[in-house]
Structure 1
């Protein structure tokens, strides 16, 4: 994993802008602590910070290939891992390519030389890549199918800026951070964000499974992959066997690394399945595993719909059963605030408060012993694991099911803003837009058709936000996190498995449970879904409420004038259980974090 940046401008000589490109590249230091490179020509500049995982001695970037009699360069800067790079390397050698390194970077570069802009279809992995092709004077930006690795860009009339994180673009004087009023609903609920959208004016993301080409005519974005609905013809036994075969192959490929590797083990079905399969591939050597808990959790924990149990007993049970080399990382919630600025600078957008802070501290601890970690993210979205999938009233409600029964924070906007923005209409419009994109199957109706919609909606904004959090907090620690459940081959197959087969035993993720039944202890196998752990330390909730009160009193707050103060006070003074939030403090976090972000980055709110 790495950090990439770049700049294409057809109106200036970028060889004279090397200092600016170096500054952009320097913002990616945390993502790439092992090396740095910058390449420039008249109209293009690429920068790279490297976290060395494959071929540490030979995979330096930007990487260049000279093409044709004129020796015109094709230059690559890339972030990610290509899990099938060994197989692709063999295929490309048969096609006449010769390799100077053992890196997946050179495989990606040669794949582009062989297949052109279609090269991404041949890749299995997580990646965000930029290629400058001097033969055509065009920049190609490409992002993996599920959007695991981030890639932002800022198009302008003369060219484009791009980077793994917004900070890389912000380091260029051409870009100034600004938020329009219309972005407030997604700042207060980031899961409403549409693919490719950001709250910053003029800043876009390359959409998952898309390619962006930038040339003298402008920027053009096209898909190279999308989900397709097809009839599922396998019987139950074949389906279970196919899922197991896919997972075995995926985990085996994702264990490829030339650096120490581990798993993140919560004791839930997803992470335990990944750890169990990893252990089988690394035996007789035990795989390292890590879990997280909080000081005082024995006394403070309070069950909620999304977090009905603590992870620690199950993580211990799974680790003992599998024989992993397990470490419990126990965090003190009173220390979260000291890393808030770090997590804010890692995101360049409002943070998730304690959830980002605890994840960053966990990843810091993991990084002391490992450079790569396998995680269980996305299994709930792919196999159907969240509680709102199984509440009929929520499922059939004509809006995003993952919103559950929670209040809408956008209802706390000032009356004038509510009238102008109509947040309820914004929510409906986004829901309808995504609903229209669901890849439907002819003849499908009833619960099966609705659950296809529900799963698709969950694989959009909510999954994107989850993957973004993992990427930012891990890369801020110099740790690479791999997510086997995001492998597109698994996603494509499970997408078309009927809902009745996904819930064959009457519970969530029945199909996954059946596929790994032989490798997990019964208590872990039958455990109910429990989300990433939250600290229930009452002192943390009190601190969030105090921050909200301070915001409401502070005339210098950039967010205060946008809020209905009485509604915020009423919400802050209430306490209610919801399907989505750990508590009311969790619900209020976007107010505190948006205010902090706007102050830290000097973000203006424009009408």
Structure 2
């Protein structure tokens, strides 16, 4: 595990950027506090920060390797973990290759020499990879299939820069001649969706390599990007007598994934909430670590804590359990720091409790397992039930649907049946935009006066929907969430917030072998009998404690609606809005009116307010240089 930073120069002058790389590296020291260093060969320069997890004494980066006749042909740095590295090493050894380390990095570069760009198809893990081929004079960049690990890049006249964190590129902007103008289209997407969708970032000239893609670039050239992983959900029928076989295959795949995710030369713990996802992971992990530690967080307010259920689960599986309770004051104080770590804002209030539970976990372990990805793979969101309730509309002729849709528009708000009628007569492509959208068009125009109606969430969703034609309705929603909500929110916070605490988070559900089974589950075994993730629950019947088997998912719920309306955060929010230098972006008067409406109980604006507040704090740090994020590591560049 590490943070990578590098530059492929356009003019063969990599050595001239050594100082810039060394200055920018501390921006992500939290990703790898154990080692740091640089390497260059004229065209390319790499920097890295290492968090040592496997082969602690060796496997230093950048890692150089080459065949006997071309020693040191390749230089590689990567961020992540390859869980099948033992099997890859054995396979490549049988093909005649030799290894100098016992870590998970060397099989990547040896595999690249043998398979070329197809090495990514052999990797089972999470990764952002950079390999420089000094013979072909080409740089290879790649991200894991689901986008667990990040990889930013930018191209200027100086060359192509890439990094695990955007702030490192910001720190090098002056040296690279990089224009740091903001991207208003990306800002609108963020406000609309609560996150910045890939490949965008809020800076117009800095982008992200998308999940499941690799890229090649030569000195002075542009990135050539290629998608190597395209998730599919084939229409598979499972007869009643074969259902148990499917459940057994799910259980076996997950058990194998957890076993491989436990590979480490340091202690591995597990996050634990009150739901089936994290409980399944922790229960399986306990089989490999009898002294497993589990961690959860909550709040003092009743109804916003899973602490008791998590403690009951920990006791049931025999794990030692550690709890962190977060106060409103701690919550508000941590927000600027968290926005700094995120690089771009994500308007998910659960980021803050995750930060605190990660900090607590890091006192005890270096790696934790978590349950992210189960909902997207196994059909866990309640909204996935919608196609069942709307099925009668599918049989109606088009003219009738259009007429009923027009009727739904004139019915008064709140009238019984209006929502069902409106949703049932609206195509899925226009109706479902992922688990995120908080503003409708009129609300968006209220706070973003310059919003353009041709820029909205369909910019993001339409190309994804185009690839899912033929999937069943639930699978289409899952497929959309894999490319939107999961990689824009779920995985960004999972990576950035745990790495902020130098803690590695591993997600066994997001394993390609688990997905290979999950994609074959028919929709009637995902959403059935009044529950979600039906097949997963059946697969876990003999594994997880009974009290969580059918419990509703909560995660780390945050009492944001109450806090923003009450003394806890109302004054704080008002101060943030008034101090923000974002008048050229937001109508601050409208935002303050929205805050007042929320406090008066006129409307629940909590999600919308948090979206705007998160951006304003981010802007105060990265653009205005007005807010000090109070990062403990003080040798990062103050002005990015």
Query: Structure 1-normalised TM-score?
Result: 0.89
Rounded to whole Å, the distance in 1 between the matches of 2:199 and 2:438 is: 26
Rounded to whole Å, the distance in 2 between the matches of 1:70 and 1:150 is: 31
Q: Of 295, 298, 307, which residue of structure 2 is paired with 1:293? A: 298
The offset of 1:93, in angstroms, is: 0.7
Q: Of 418, 421, 445, which residue of structure 1 is paired with 2:452? A: 421
Are the structure 2 counterparts of residues 409 and 50 from structure 1 closer, same or farther at C-alpha, using a change threshold of 3 Å?
A: farther
CA contact 2:61–2:77 (8 Å) conserved in 1: yes
Higher deviation after alignment, 535-544 or 262-271 = 535-544
**Is it true that 1:182 corresponds to 2:185 in the alignment?**
yes
Aligned to 1:11: 11
Aligned to 2:222: 218
The offset of 1:410, in angstroms, is: 7.6
**Is it true that 1:203 corresponds to 2:206 in the alignment?**
yes
Deviation by residue 1:550-589 (Cα, 9 ceiling, x = unmatched): 45545xx33223334554344323349x9xxx96334311
Report matched runs for 1:279-358 at 5 Å: 279-282=286-289, 285-294=290-299, 296-298=300-302, 301=303, 310-352=305-347, 354-358=349-353
Rounded to whole Å, the distance in 1 between the matches of 2:486 and 2:376 is: 7
Aligned to 1:252: 259
What SS is found at the alignment partner of 1:179? coil
What SS is found at the alignment partner of 2:79? strand
Deviation by residue 1:184-223 (Cα, 9 ceiling, x = unmatched): 2223144564432222111111111100111143210001
Aligned to 1:278: 285
**Is it true that 1:232 corresponds to 2:236 in the alignment?**
yes
Report matched runs for 1:323-402 at 5 Å: 323-352=318-347, 354-391=349-386, 392=389, 393=420, 398-402=430-434
Are the structure 2 counterparts of residues 531 and 587 from structure 1 closer, same or farther at C-alpha, using a change threshold of 3 Å?
A: farther
The offset of 1:417, in angstroms, is: 3.9
Are the structure 2 counterparts of residues 574 and 385 from structure 1 closer, same or farther at C-alpha, using a change threshold of 3 Å?
A: farther
Deviation by residue 1:379-402 (Cα, 9 ceiling, x = unmatched): 111111122222444686533254
Are the structure 2 counterparts of residues 357 and 176 from structure 1 closer, same or farther at C-alpha, using a change threshold of 3 Å?
A: farther
CA contact 1:140–1:212 (8 Å) conserved in 2: yes
Rounded to whole Å, the distance in 1 between the matches of 2:130 and 2:8 is: 11
Q: Of 461, 470, 478, which residue of structure 2 is paired with 1:431? A: 461
CA contact 1:262–1:372 (8 Å) conserved in 2: yes
The offset of 1:336, in angstroms, is: 2.1
Higher deviation after alignment, 93-102 or 179-188 = 179-188
Q: Of 599, 604, 618, which residue of structure 2 is paired with 1:597? A: 618
Q: Of 524, 539, 547, which residue of structure 2 is paired with 1:500? A: 524
CA contact 1:80–1:149 (8 Å) conserved in 2: yes
Question: How many residues are paired up?
Answer: 578
Rounded to whole Å, the distance in 1 between the matches of 2:510 and 2:322 is: 25
Rounded to whole Å, the distance in 1 between the matches of 2:322 and 2:498 is: 17
Deviation by residue 1:83-141 (Cα, 9 ceiling, x = unmatched): 00001111111111111111001121211121111111100001111001111111110
Are the structure 2 counterparts of residues 80 and 574 from structure 1 closer, same or farther at C-alpha, using a change threshold of 3 Å?
A: same
Higher deviation after alignment, 129-138 or 151-160 = 151-160
Rounded to whole Å, the distance in 2 between the matches of 1:501 and 1:354 is: 32
CA contact 1:552–1:560 (8 Å) conserved in 2: no
CA contact 1:374–1:483 (8 Å) conserved in 2: yes
The offset of 1:455, in angstroms, is: 1.1
Rounded to whole Å, the distance in 1 between the matches of 2:49 and 2:605 is: 40
Are the structure 2 counterparts of residues 242 and 260 from structure 1 closer, same or farther at C-alpha, using a change threshold of 3 Å?
A: same
The offset of 1:338, in angstroms, is: 2.8
CA contact 2:233–2:475 (8 Å) conserved in 1: no
5+ long unaligned stretches in structure 2 = 390-419, 626-640
Rounded to whole Å, the distance in 1 between the matches of 2:463 and 2:196 is: 12
Are the structure 2 counterparts of residues 349 and 179 from structure 1 closer, same or farther at C-alpha, using a change threshold of 3 Å?
A: same
Rounded to whole Å, the distance in 1 between the matches of 2:620 and 2:319 is: 44
- Pairwise CA RMSD: 2.7
CA contact 1:321–1:521 (8 Å) conserved in 2: yes
Are the structure 2 counterparts of residues 71 and 275 from structure 1 closer, same or farther at C-alpha, using a change threshold of 3 Å?
A: closer
Report matched runs for 1:431-470 at 5 Å: 431-438=461-468, 440-441=469-470, 449-464=472-487, 465-470=489-494
What SS is found at the alignment partner of 1:459? helix
CA contact 2:576–2:613 (8 Å) conserved in 1: yes
Are the structure 2 counterparts of residues 70 and 370 from structure 1 closer, same or farther at C-alpha, using a change threshold of 3 Å?
A: closer
Aligned to 2:412: none
CA contact 2:186–2:196 (8 Å) conserved in 1: no
What SS is found at the alignment partner of 1:86? helix
CA contact 1:24–1:168 (8 Å) conserved in 2: yes
Rounded to whole Å, the distance in 2 between the matches of 1:229 and 1:382 is: 10
CA contact 2:145–2:229 (8 Å) conserved in 1: yes
Rounded to whole Å, the distance in 1 between the matches of 2:334 and 2:234 is: 47
Aligned to 1:515: 539
